[in-house]
Amino acid sequence: MQLNQQDLTGLDKEFRRAFINSLAGFRQAVLVGTISDKGQSNLAIFNSLIHLGANPALFGLINRPDSVQRDTLQNIQNSGCYTLNYVAGSDYQKAHQTSARYPVGVSEFEQVGFEEVYHDGFAAPFVAGAIVQIAMKFEERIDIKRNGTVMIVGSIQNVRVDKSLVEPDGFVNLSTAGVLVSQGLDAYFTTSPLGRLPYAKP
């Protein structure tokens, strides 16, 4: 089938939302842990993690300030820090449940059943037992004016990952650990490896 711009505009709103979101393909499911200036922890699932550079190690995150993601953006800007946590595929229902619109003053950690943990005096909470736990420092907010979304640029402060997952050349074997992948607004997956390939030469 073929849909042009006019067809897309004419689609039912919910259909278009599911279609365009899922059309963007597979992405890393990441649980973002933050803390408010009142000490209230927050955990929210994102699927918009972006690799920006390795040295310095910078990751981006797309945030929609008009959504349930608003609290996460505010906490990151106020506290200057946040955590990125990857969980196993078997936790996909708990991970998805963090996207519910809980009242302010309620921690998603408690509500969905992930345990919050703090490491080395870092202010933002981590997900206990998460396969990958990354401490991030807020560096820059980039406003994408065309549609009001925001890119949060952060630098990696600390990485915790089981040594057995890190291959001799530095590659982190997330597939072996069964790390959760998402697509669109509500679909979850694990991965099956096809292989790694040598640096491509003409």
- Site for its own copies, residues 22 to 81, rule: CB under 8 A: 22-28, 30, 47-60, 62
- Report if residue 104 touches its own copies, rule: CB under 8 A: no
Pick the piece of the chain touching its own copies (CB under 8 A) from 34-42, 72-80, 177-185. 177-185
Nearest distance, CB of residue 82 and its own copies, angstroms = 15
Q: How many other β-carbons are positioned within 10 Å of the β-carbon of residue 4? A: 8
Size of the site for its own copies (CB under 8 A): 105
* Position among 39, 105, 121, 195 found at the interface with its own copies (CB under 8 A): 195
Name which of 51 and 70 has its Cβ closer to its own copies: 51
Nearest distance, CB of residue 115 and its own copies, angstroms = 19
- Report if residue 123 touches its own copies, rule: CB under 8 A: no
Distance CA 61, CA 43 (A): 14
Nearest distance, CB of residue 134 and its own copies, angstroms = 7
Distance CA 156, CA 21 (A): 27
Non-local (6+) Cβ contacts of 55 within 8 A are none
Show the site string, 141-160: x = touches its own copies by CB under 8 A, - = not: -x-x-xx-x-x-x-xxxxxx
Distance CA 145, CA 172 (A): 35
User: What's the gap between Cα 37 and its chain centre?
Assistant: 22
- 187-199 burial by CB neighbour count: b if 16+ within 10 A, else e? ebeeeeeeeeeee
Q: What's the distance, Cα to Cα, between the start and end of the chain in Å?
A: 35
- Report if residue 83 touches its own copies, rule: CB under 8 A: no
Name which of 39 and 199 has its Cβ closer to its own copies: 199
